[in-house]
Structure 1
Amino acid sequence: MRIFAIALGMLMAFMAAASAFGQEIKEDPSCAEVNYAYVVTRSTELYGAKFYDVLPDGPRQFAEMYVDWHTAFYKTMDASTWDQTDRSGWSPLDRFGPKFRSCVLADENGEQGNEIRHFTATWHQFPYSAYADIWISVRDKWIVRVERRSMHPSEFKFGTTSGTVLEVFDYDRARVAAAYGLGTTPISEDPSCAEVNYAYAATRSSRLYSEKLYDVRKDGAGKQYAEMRIDRDTLYYRPLKRPDWDRFPRANWSLKDAFGPKFQSCKFEGEHKEGGGKVRRYSGKWQDNGVEADMNVWISSRDKRFIRVERRFKNPEYPNKKFGTTEGTTLEVFDFKPATGIAPKQTSASDRKVSND
């Protein structure tokens, strides 16, 4: 009977995914604050976490993790080596639906001089589901800790014997750097770009989406020169003049690099209606490893993700040579319908990194 129940549950999950295929998967509105804190947490560029098995006689640590600017390192306490994964794989959504659902504010209290909001919810990461408690810092907007109690403890493959895992986060950069032999980079995000930063993180955390890339001329006319599709692990890129696609590992994204924050001097230009929804526009500065551009960003008021980004490069020759533009201005237009991010049939592997960030 239990095997049948498990098989039925998996079948229902696949049927749900099939019914959602090609349709936009949305976050649970009750979990807006939890989703925001999740994105802020996973966007933090240097932090640590400890994982505990919650036992009747007290919690027992079974694993630890630290995340630097590019990579997440994970190790169980009995292992001698670290598993490494690209840190760009986290998202509050996947093809089976939102990670957090049915969120309820349980209480508010103070911890070490910081106000904490405690939410209950259900947590989902296929094929696992759990009841969750999430504690969020009101001041910093990130997750302080999260406890997950598996709905099916015997199948909860996270190194626990109780079926309950507690994850405790550490955002003290100096302490994390010292513990794992890392350097620190005292670069802060521009506070004027808080909404843009969040939308960028939400955009780059989306599992399946696509982009169309345009060459914009001084008269405002645009001509598409390339397209991209992005799935969980891979970025597919095709200049329109070619029939086949290049395939790259999905590049890690970051809100900062050694040259400073990606988005700077942001100015809110207003909100207007577009395509049946409200859109917020910002102007500002964009930079990536020292390459600079003036920018305009349009953000969905509902989904908090990019709709399009225009960049006018300070050195027009850079995009002209790299992307094939004519006057140094590019426009990215985003589409978050999952079907648009599906891998194309004709691809060729490449070790090069492509990024239109």
Structure 2
Amino acid sequence: MMRLPGYVIAISLAIIVCVSAARADEKPRPDPTCSEVNKAYSQSNRPAQYSITTYQVKDDGSLKPYQALRVVDDNYYTKYSLSDTWLLHGKPYFSIMDRMGPKFTSCKLLGKKGKLLHYSATWHKFPYTAATELWVAKDNRRLMKMLRRYPDSLWELPFAVALEIYDYNATNVGASAPSAGERPRPDPSCLDVNNAYRQRNRPPHYSTMTYQVKDDGSLKPFYAFRVVKDNSYTKYSFSDKWLAHGQPYFSIMDRMGPKFTSCKLMGEDSSVLGKLLHYSATWHSFPYTAAAELWVTQHNHRLMKLVRHYPDTGWEFPFPVAVDLYDYNPAQTLPAAPEPTTLVSTP
């Protein structure tokens, strides 16, 4: 059998990667039907001070307060209705696009009533979608109210219908910032877990497969994620279509606080890759939390496996236990770089 020189194999791989990336469609763009809705929602149309109150819409139509968000100059603050404590965050930013696609699609003007324009749209925030209605002021095109109806299969909040009320009256918002504690910071017990999870410890090419962990311990594929240089691709197990996205970014902090808290080294496990450090932690991705276990390679501190056990009160997926398996082998990841057929928002 003829053996190819190593450099020939390397060149061939590089060609496959470049061609596959070149075949990818352009990065996601805003839906042209949503230009007016995007103007109302975008950060540039928001004043220095305003507030948003999120309510649960109950079956009888009554409203139950859930969360308050207040913007004062260059900071924003949040407080849940069941708490008296305001949480301080950084500079607010509400984008009409994220790395998974546009915030709004399929927008339509339903009518005009008094000083408000009434729109319908589909709202997206991966992995959630919601049938949405928006009311926008005619004069300054500011968003006044947004109603989201989530499908039965996946809720972002602990209820199916949410209403956001916007208030731009500086007197109502308050000229001074609410009393708040320090800005959220990483949990010092999670230093090693954060180093394994953060973006800078990830190579330019890798893949992640998310599985449902069934009651008998068997795995059922749910979601595939691949990174090829500056682009990421996703595909659900029930679909043959890959979606192309922008540059991936995984942060140890988000606007609600740290990704991991209460980390603890449980021990060491052996594997074909060498020793794996086994950690426990609490994983956070608002509004979800999960009891997590992580396995990290000892020699290069890369995350290899992440198991999440969700509480009965809130699942991120249609099942309570999920495992992410990471593969950093270019031979497995690169030649199969996907060819996305659509760049519309997430399914």
After TM superposition, the score normalised by the length of structure 2 is 0.46
The structure showing larger relative contact order (alpha-carbon pairs under 8 Å, at least 6 residues apart) is 2
User: What is the TM-score normalised by the length of structure 1?
Assistant: 0.44
Bigger helix fraction? 1
Q: Which structure: larger Rg?
A: 2
